[in-house]
Structure 1
Amino acid sequence: MKKPILDGIRVLDFGRFIAAPYAGQLLADLGAEVVRVERPKPEPDRLRGPYLEGNSLYFVTLNRNKKSVAFEMFTDAGRRLLDDLIAKTDILISNFSPRAARGLGFTKERLLTLNPRLIVLSITAYGPDGPDAERIGFDTLAQARSGAMRCNGEEKPYFNHLPYVDFSTAIYGGFGLMAALYERERTGEGQWIDVSLMETVSAFVGSYGMIAEAKLLDKPRQRQGNSLIFALGDCLQAKDGDFVIFNVIGNMWPRLCEMIGHNELLEDERFTTDESRYAYRDEILPYIAEWIAGLNVPDILAAAEQHRIPFERVSTVGDLAQDAHAEAREMFPTVAQPEVGDIPVSRLGVSMSTHGRAQLNPAPAIGEHTIPVLEDWLGYAPSQFLSLRDEGVIP
């Protein structure tokens, strides 16, 4: 079997909460040696729920396949140890605020002088500079600031419960890291990569045409509820569940009319184009809603598949946990977590034809790998560990 694609790549992961830890986990799933650097006491993301047997499931699902080195990095001896590790690593990931990063000596100039081949991924809320660089920020705040949240909901805006900005920022970061590793192969030089929650979600807003719409048409996108913009779509109720009909366009329209038994709608001049069907959606949707309301979920899915119409049941997360397709695709393998048991996690969302999927290892206990990592990376001898303990750097 081939070695993992990132075998031999060393990563120091200073990430907390979601975006930065997930970026590190993506690298670990590709075979990199990802070492979470933390203090000897539990960091906040180790304490966040949901819990099982008093253990954070949230932490396990974002930090599996990693190692942990724990020491007091905010001491003089800890800073020296930190520098020694940075000099031996390929990638450093952090989501410190710009001020906290400077306090640790995590500046572009200093780190790339310390290790010219180092690739740094810095994840922040608003970016490293600009008037709001030091503001505290989280996923939902980025949804709000970007205008994305204003497009959700009906009577008032709703934020998306799934923190898609965090996860997408991690993927942007991973994309940048892969490009930087490729560049380093050609030049031997490392570099600094900046990604931010605000810029990630703003890129999505812009790429969906919403900035152009606001600037050129003077029509900023407003709340849509479940109505799809510029195409026929909504959330409707069947006998035993909710359904989404999504993006019925072009030659889907006559197939939809046939499916719901209303071919006469094809003769209505109001419904001849995608644009006009969107404009008259309140006239069309009751026909679809009436058809759905008289059927059960299996019947609707079968009819939609037969007519190739984009329908889908609105499932619960519990439904997804038992989903036959997800099971067939092995989307939720388990990891054996000490003191907890088998925990279902997500696999890497990328399959590569020449590399099998990574073996899944549990999330590390605090400092579980401090001694082996310092021995392997830095060649530390037993006497040096005694010195670190005497100086209060490691427990």
Structure 2
Amino acid sequence: MPQPLSGIRVVDLTNLLPGPLATLMLAEAGAEVIKIERPGGDDMRAYAPQWQGTGAAFSLLNRGKRTITLDLKTPEGKAKLKSLLERSDVLFEQFRPGILEKLGFGFDASRAVNPRLIYCSISGYGQTGPRANEAGHDLNYIASTGLLAFQPGPPDRPVIPPALVADIAGGTFPAVINILLALRQRDLTGRGCHLDIAMTDAMFTFAWRALSGLWASGSLATSGQSDLTGSTPRYRLYPAKDGGIIACAALEDHFWQRFTAVIGLEERLRDDSRDPSATIAAVAAIIASRTTPDWAPVLARADCCVTVMRSIEDALADPHFVGRGVFAHRVRGAEGGTLPALPVPIDPQFREPPGSEKPSPPPLFG
């Protein structure tokens, strides 16, 4: 059975994370992705650790893509890119707004070459607006939209989130969604379009809880004051005796009652509306009295939305994820070795069979 994006050609001018991860997902669904690298290659090729002549992260993000080097400042490079655009479905770029236009490949110029072309631009703040040309990275984007203000660390020790939320949830995922929508729209109209993906815009989506309170009542919970950032004993991280962490998310009362019963919390403290601080302290003391190996089977039997925090090494070996085939695909390196492919949220029925190997783009020479 053909894959959903079989026959779709994507010209990928992106580097680093948001764009390459998006085109990886398109490639996993069957698209032909031609990655255009400037002389010297994608910056991520140089990232440590290295694997078979190039960065391991680069290999994971660019599995199964074809790559060519073009200098878009030269007539030869421009001519080759124009030829590719004539025969492609999607152009994916991640430059600052206006850069590609200066090189002769803005949306209007590219549409003149191919009216059916879907032209996707990822940037920090979008193609328009006062901040459109402002430099930034993930931390800047979540800081400038107010999302970072909800980090639960104390003011003297603020916490950096462990995930690149803006890059992936604000860049990669919206880009893939909108490219698929644009392809469907092109089926209906025969025309391409320009997609303006601003990584910051989607950060307001992640503030849904705070915005609902602010817009409806004028009140706003600050860092650590909402029930999802530490104000309630039902949604917290509790250290165990061995230094491990118990992740409690027993928000609903039936889960909370199971949890407090199985750990032996005093009856008077189970009504956490009376004195949340006292309940938090009591639960913390109980959890700290035993190790995570002690707690793991107890909490699993209770089925109460409370789990032991695992290391990523432990998670990789979890029979659940292994059994679901999350790590079943492989990246083949230039020297013949393989690595597990980066898991992507594409339904298995739309990908090649588990166990399939696809090459990483080879190292650049010269």
The answer to whether the superposition gives a TM-score over 0.5 is yes
The residue number in structure 2 matching 1:56 is 55
Question: Any conservation in 2 of the 1:46–1:59 contact (CA below 8 Å)?
Answer: yes
Letter in 1 for 2:254: N
The match for 1:77 is 76
Point out the structure with max Rg over C-alpha: 1
Paired position in structure 2 for 1:348:
344
CA 1:142–1:59 in 2, change beyond 3 Å: closer, same or farther?
same
**Do the aligned partners of 1:138 and 1:197 also contact (CA within 8 Å) in 2?**
no
SS at match of 1:81: helix
The total of aligned residue pairs comes to 358
Equivalent residue for 2:322? 327
Report if aligned partners of 2:250, 2:259 keep a CA contact under 8 Å in 1. no
Provide the residue aligned with 2:262 in structure 1: 259
2:358 corresponds to which residue? 361
SS at 2:15's partner residue? coil
Comparing 300-309 with 63-72, greater Cα deviation is found at 300-309
Change (3 A) 1:156 1:101: farther
Aligned partners of 1:64 and 1:360 also within 8 Å:
no
Question: Cα distance 1:231–1:216, how it changes in 2: closer, same or farther (>3 A)?
Answer: farther
Shifted more, 187-196 versus 244-253: the winner is 244-253
Instruction: Give 1:307 shift.
Output: 2.1
The 3 A distance-change label for structure 1 pair 357 and 141 is farther
Q: How many angstroms apart in 1 are the aligned matches of 2:9 and 2:263?
A: 57
> Which residue of 246, 249, 254 corresponds with 2:249?
246
Q: Is the 8 A contact 2:4 2:350 kept in 1?
A: no
Give the Cα–Cα distance (whole angstroms) in 2 for the partners of residues 247 and 104 of structure 1.
55
Change (3 A) 1:79 1:356: closer
Superposed, 1:110-121 pairs within 5 Å as 110-121=109-120
- 1:188 is matched with 190
The DSSP-based 3-state class of the residue aligned with 1:8 is coil
Matched AA of 1:351: D
Aligned residue for 2:127? 128
Separation in structure 2 between the aligned mates of residue 60 and residue 354 of structure 1, nearest angstrom? 21
Name the structure 2 match of 1:35: 34
Matching residue of 1:338: 334
Secondary structure, in 3 states, of the residue corresponding to 1:78? helix
Unaligned runs of at least 5 residues, structure 2: none
How far apart are residue 201 of structure 1 and its match? 1.4
TM-score when scaled to structure 1?
0.83
Q: What's the offset of the Cα at 1:355?
A: 5.7
Deviates more, 1:141-150 or 1:14-23: 141-150
**Partner SS state of residue 361, structure 1:** strand
Higher relative contact order (CA 8 A, sep 6+): 1
Q: Which residue of 2 aligns with 1:202?
A: 204
SS in 2 for 1:65: coil
Q: Give me the whole-angstrom Cα distance separating, in 1, the residues matched to 2:162 and 2:259.
A: 31
Q: Determine whether 1:289 maps to 2:291.
A: no
Once the two structures are TM-superposed, the CA of residue 57 in structure 1 deviates from its matched residue by 1.0
Query: What is the one-letter code of the residue matched to 1:291?
Result: I
Long gaps (5+) in structure 1: 369-394
Tell me, yes or no, if the aligned pair for 2:30 and 2:351 is still in contact at 8 Å: no
Amino acid in the other structure paired with 2:267: E
SS at structure 2 position matched to 1:24 = helix
In the alignment, which residue of structure 2 is the partner of 1:224? 224
Report what 1:234 is aligned to.
Answer: 236
- Change beyond 3 A, Cα 1:221–1:53: farther
SS at match of 2:202: helix
Tell me if the contact between 2:150 and 2:222 (Cα under 8 Å) persists in the aligned partners: yes
**CA–CA distance in 1 between the matches of 2:136 and 2:108?**
25
- Number of the residue aligned with 1:108: 107
Against the structure 1 CA distance between its residues 45 and 354, is the aligned structure 2 distance closer, same or farther, given a 3 Å change threshold? closer
In structure 1, distance between residues paired with 2:98 and 2:231: 41
Give 1:76 shift: 1.7
Greater per-residue helix proportion: 1
Q: Distance in 1 between matches of 2:339 and 2:256?
A: 44
